[in-house]
Amino acid sequence: MTDARGTADTVYLNLADGDALRRLEGIDEGTARALIEARPFHDWSDLKRVEGVDQDRINALKSAGAELGEPKSGPIGEPGSGGSGGSPGGNLGQA
């Protein structure tokens, strides 16, 4: 999956649908629903508002590739753009 809800390695907890959340280890349908209803999460500790989510579960989510925010976007450094934040010319259309 490569949309705003997650990538192959990342699930964005503030954006992911129930299916994406359930792919995380230890997240069942009920927990996925509770996570969606408790949004937004501004800090990892906000997840503790969800019943059954403690610091151990938060650590497991982080280890599984979960993130709170949104995927990085923009032309510089975006996969396939050819751009690089470190190049003075930016994206000059060169491969």
Distance CA 7, CA 16 (A): 10
Distance CA 14, CA 36 (A): 7
Predicted confidence at residue 74, as pLDDT, reads: 61
Predicted confidence at residue 2, as pLDDT, reads: 43
Strand intervals (E) in 1-59 = 11-12
**Mean of the per-residue pLDDT values for the chain?**
80
Kindly report which listed range (3-7, 31-35, 42-46, 72-76) carries the lowest average pLDDT score: 3-7
Strand intervals (E) in the chain = 11-12, 66-67
Kindly report which listed range (23-32, 39-48, 77-86) carries the lowest average pLDDT score: 77-86
- Summarised one tens digit per residue, pLDDT across range 64-84 is 989 998 777 666 555 555 554
Per-residue buried b or exposed e for 7-39, using 16+ beta carbons within 10 Å of the residue's own CB: eeebbbbbbbeeebbbebeebeeebbebbbebe
DSSP state of 66: E
**92 or 52: which carries more pLDDT confidence?**
52
**43 or 95: which carries more pLDDT confidence?**
43
Determine how many CB atoms are found less than 10 A away from the CB of residue 76: 14
**Which residues sit opposite 67 in a β-bridge?**
12
